[in-house]
Amino acid sequence: MPELTVNELSTKEPITWCPGCTNFAILTATKQAIAELVNEKAVERKNIVQVTGIGCHAKIFDYLNINGFYSLHGRAIPIGVGLRIANPKLKPIVFAGDGDALAEGVSHYIYACRHNTDMTMVIHDNQVFALTTGQATPTTERGFKGKTTPQGNYENPINPLTLALSSGATFVARTYALDIQKTKEILKEAVKHEGASVVEVMQPCLTFHDTRDFIKQHLYWVEGNNKQSFEEAYKIAAEWDYSLDPKSKIAMGIFYQVKKPTFAEKLGIK
Amino acid sequence: MKSILIGGQAGQGVEKASEIVTEALRRIGYYSFNYRDYQSLIRGGHNFNVISFSKEKVFSNEWEYDVILALNDETAEKHKSHLKSGGIVILYKDYPQADEAIKELNLPPISKNSFFVGVLAKTIGMKKEVILSVVKESLGEKQLEIASRGYDAAETVFSIDNGKELNAFIISGSQTLGKAAIDAGLERFIGYPMTPATPVFHYIAAHQNEKLKAVQMENEIAVVHGVIAASYAGKMAMAATSSGGLALMGEACSLAGISETPLVINLAQRTGPATGLPTYTAQADLKMALNIGHGEFPRIVVAPGLPDEIYELTQEAFYLAYKYRTLAIILTDKHVAESQFTIEEFVKPKRKPEKFIIKADKNYAHYKITEDGLSPRAIPGEDDNVVVKATSYEHDEYSNTTEDPEMTVKMNDKRMRKMKTLEKEVMQLEPVKMYGNGSKVIVGWGSTKGAILDALRELDGYSYLQIRYLSPFPSKVVKEVLEKADEIVDVENNVTGQLADIIAEKTGIIVKKKVLKYDARPFSAKEIVEGVKHA
């Protein structure tokens, strides 16, 4: 079988993200990750199903030449769960936004983690509702002035990764969209992991929430951490409160990776 | 016809006692209808069943009783004014032997119902060995002695005919629906508990095997997306829910419509609005079923009235949903779902369900534009060269998102051409049924069928038009029947007469006479006879 190229994973559809959007980097990393996973025979191309919510992130559906379900806002995750209930050979890669997964669809996020559903949930976290032109999401910092909160966002952010950990996810990672190499490696590990994998991709929105300089300045890549330790993972995940505090330390990398029975295994679905 | 009311607190085994009695009646040649009235609580309260039985087929219950078996005081108090003349009340406290037997035989308090099943059997004149054999089968050997003591303690008041066993079986609408879905080839049931749809979930969960799995998810929204995903992935799947649950599934119904993914939902209606009366019946969601989901897309709505046709129409709903790749709602309600019927056989569907999955090549178009509107469907996971993309956005034939006005029109037209094709096919099935020859017509849908059929025997000059397919609506045949009618009476278990509105919309015929009941209880035949005469 000839090698699968990144080109074959591309489509001819015109890309409608803003020029320079960090989603381009996620698209590139995703294509590379899928091509390598298929070529390394870690997964068969026919079994990969991308599932998207609604929002800027979801446009990836048109740009990835792979099976897919473009679902509703907040509902990418239950579509992914349904795929696993139907056919455990399928490998869902769920792309969801921060508003999508953590506001509209937060119950599904918690339950997919709780069930340890064997799929990858890629959370495109730009800390803003972008396609609706700039409103606060659950991960937006306090004080953010959006069109629905001209007085400033009045709540502290939800931490998607401590939430994933407390809910039962067995693979938890954070990456930075503009580090394509690192993002690709983490995505590959997430897809290979058998269980609920959460990968939060920090992807600043150039139009409504441009934190590129802030994130670049404050991020660091974890090394030598004990990925089997829930406590350690939780500590690393909780380190940043999603504020723009100049003392912030934003950990990146794989925080947690343990093997537990998956949803399909628990249901006896083969 | 004779009727027995068995009542007591929740947890006293009222339901079980009624099941034993109906089965015993079947064994001596009686058809029965077993109505279940229960409150939204687990212990205490006042629950009762009404068994109406006859040598002729019976599809509904009376609200007047020959025997009231009262396992508590409240049952006697509440219902004794509905005793027929010559009727009797069997009151628990007139039989202190029941408590003595419990003590002596060291049985749990619920075994009292075995004692009173014995009392009841003797009272109506049923042979002892008949009732004991059913007690043994359904409750076990341990209950035989107490049931026998109950029998011996009572006097015979009525003399029913201990005739030949009926070649029939007793089943509820929910059990039938579960069986029909399994026989259709169901592979995944995904649910969230909601009365009165839960018994379908229970039935299917109890029948799981390697191929059939039942899964509970976190809410109705998750459930419906799970079903859509399972169906996209190539499994035959369904959900069952009640009124508020379907409301939550609304957006996803629309998703099934545009993504052209088969979606089968059983809507077991209950009394609304909102939480309403959770354990009681209504036919108030016809318009919701016909309209749920934003935007315009084809849909199938079937409304079986009795279990035999629940079997038939459930399977046809699967067939049509998978062939036409769209939403199919099987509309039932608490009344038909939870009542038990004695039936001889299921009606076979006129089409055999299948999944209509094709083997595709690399040029596969998930939304191929065709003359009849039907696009052949492939599933993911079969071939590395085939990409299967389903989408909630407007799209071109290859699932790419589009905002192009021409493509938008083309895709809308394609989807609605499916509706035309579907209409043609449904007309070849049996979208309506006619009963009786009278020139005056009673028109109805769903669970009122039982009481209407029973009423028809006493309504000279009337016939009954049952509309079984509400979408696509059989406008032509309904119009033909109603135009010829000397009088039209609409019978519905709701406040506004929703079917009458649909008939007006689809045929232009305004039905002015309506018999409507909305006290959360089903019609009896007598209520229909009175209602129709005075309409």
- Report the domain count for chain A: 1
Among the partner residues A61, A65, A81, nearest to B391 by beta-carbon distance = A61
What per-residue confidence (pLDDT) applies to B299?
98
- Going by pLDDT thresholds of 50, 70 and 90, the confidence category of residue A15 is very high
The whole-number pLDDT of residue B454 equals: 97
- Domain range for A121 is 7-11+19-267
Summarize the confidence of residues B3-11 as an average pLDDT: 95
* Domains defined for chain B, CATH in brackets: 2-167 (3.40.920.10), 172-343 (3.40.50.970), 432-534 (3.40.50.920)
In one-letter notation, the amino acid at residue B148 is S
- C-beta atoms of B233 and A86 within 8 A: yes
What mean pLDDT comes out for the span A48-70? 98
User: What is the reported pTM?
Assistant: 0.97
Confidence of residue A31 (pLDDT cuts 50, 70, 90): very high
CA torsion sign for B61, B62, B63, B64 is: negative
User: Tell me: the pLDDT tens digits for B239-251?
Assistant: 999 999 999 999 9
What interface predicted TM-score (ipTM) does this complex get? Answer: 0.98
Instruction: Check whether B310 has a pLDDT greater than 80.
Output: yes
Q: How distant, in Å, are the alpha carbons of A154, B36, B58, B185, B313 from that of B308? A: 59, 19, 13, 18, 9
DSSP notation for A62-129: HHB-SEEEE--TT-HHHHHHHHHHH-TT-EEEEEEEHHIIIIITHHHHHHHHHTT-SEEEEEEE-SSB
Q: What is the mean pLDDT of chain B?
A: 97
- pLDDT classification of B471: cutoffs 50, 70, 90: very high
pLDDT beyond 90 at A2: no
Q: Tell me the C-alpha distance between B115 and A239, whole Å.
A: 67
Provide the chain A residues 99-138 that lie in CB contact (below 8 A) with chain B: 107-108, 110-111
> How many contiguous H segments (helices) and E segments (strands) does chain A have?
10, 8
Question: CB of B311 within 8 Å of any CB in chain A?
Answer: no
Q: Which of A59, A67, A78 sits opposite B380 (nearest CB)?
A: A67
What is the C-alpha to C-alpha distance for residues B482 and B474, in angstroms, rounded to an integer? Answer: 12
User: Is there a domain that residue A107 lies in?
Assistant: yes
Tell me: the pLDDT tens digits for B319-329? Answer: 999 999 999 99
Decide if B251 touches A, using CB distance below 8 A. yes
Q: Is residue A2 part of a domain?
A: no
pLDDT digits (tens, 9 = 90+) for B377-415: 999 999 999 999 999 999 999 999 999 999 999 999 999
Q: What is the pLDDT of residue B44?
A: 83
What's the pLDDT tens digit per position in A186-197? 999 999 999 999
pLDDT digits (tens, 9 = 90+) for B25-83: 999 999 999 999 998 888 888 999 999 999 999 999 999 999 999 999 999 999 999 99
Give the model's pLDDT for residue A36: 98
**Length of chain B in terms of residues written:** 535
State the average pLDDT over residues B349-357: 98
| Type of residue numbered A90 | L
State how far the Cα of B450 lies from the Cα of B467, in Å rounded to an integer: 14
Which of A13, A72, A83 is facing B400, going by the closest CB pair? A13
Judged against a pLDDT cut of 90, whether residue B426 lies above it is answered with yes
Whether A186 maps to a domain, the answer reads: yes
| Residue bearing tokens 């006293």 | B12
**pLDDT at position A217:** 97
pLDDT of residue B43: 84
What gap in Å lies between CA B110 and CA B411, rounded to an integer? 61
The answer to whether residue A52 sits within a structural domain is yes
Close Cβ partners of B434 (under 8 Å, ≥ 6 residues apart): B463, B464, B465, B466, B481
Q: Is position A176 within any domain?
A: yes
Average pLDDT in the B117-138 region?
A: 98
Interface residue A68 vs chain B (CB under 8 A):
yes
Tell me whether residue A81 is in a domain.
yes
Q: Which B residues 69-88 touch A at CB under 8 Å?
A: none
Instruction: Say whether pLDDT at A1 is over 80.
Output: no
Quote the pLDDT of residue B71. 96
Q: Which of A186, A68, A99 is nearest to B232 (CA)?
A: A68
Contact (Cβ atoms closer than 8 angstroms) between residue A3 and residue A45: no
Other CB atoms within 10 A of residue A249 CB:
11
The domain that holds A200 is classified in CATH as 3.40.50.970
Residues of A in contact with B225 (CB under 8 A): 71-72, 75, 78-79, 81-82
Look-up of token digits 């990835």: A64
